[in-house]
Structure 1
């Protein structure tokens, strides 16, 4: 997961393969410029576990 400010959403999305985006609740900074992060860009990893 990476955090980005509003200015760097496009740059962050372009740096991830099939990313997901949501507004963040964390108090952290943008990966690219150290301004306050507004969004989380992340991957969802699925596992194939049997529930039987």
Structure 2
């Protein structure tokens, strides 16, 4: 984990704030991907195991 954190910080120019912003953008992208995949997976295949995304506080 430490090495991954160091790599992420280095990739963002060494700034912790910029790194956090980049990670938030990446997380939002992944959440959108999950929502799209949930919408395309049939209920029969998933047997109701996926639920609607809960409301998040910003």
**TM-score, structure 2 length as denominator?**
0.25
Which one scores higher on RCO, CA 8 angstroms, separation ≥ 6?
1
User: Which has the larger share of strand?
Assistant: 1
Which structure shows the higher helix fraction?
2
| Greater Rg by CA | 2
Length-normalised TM-score, structure 1: 0.26
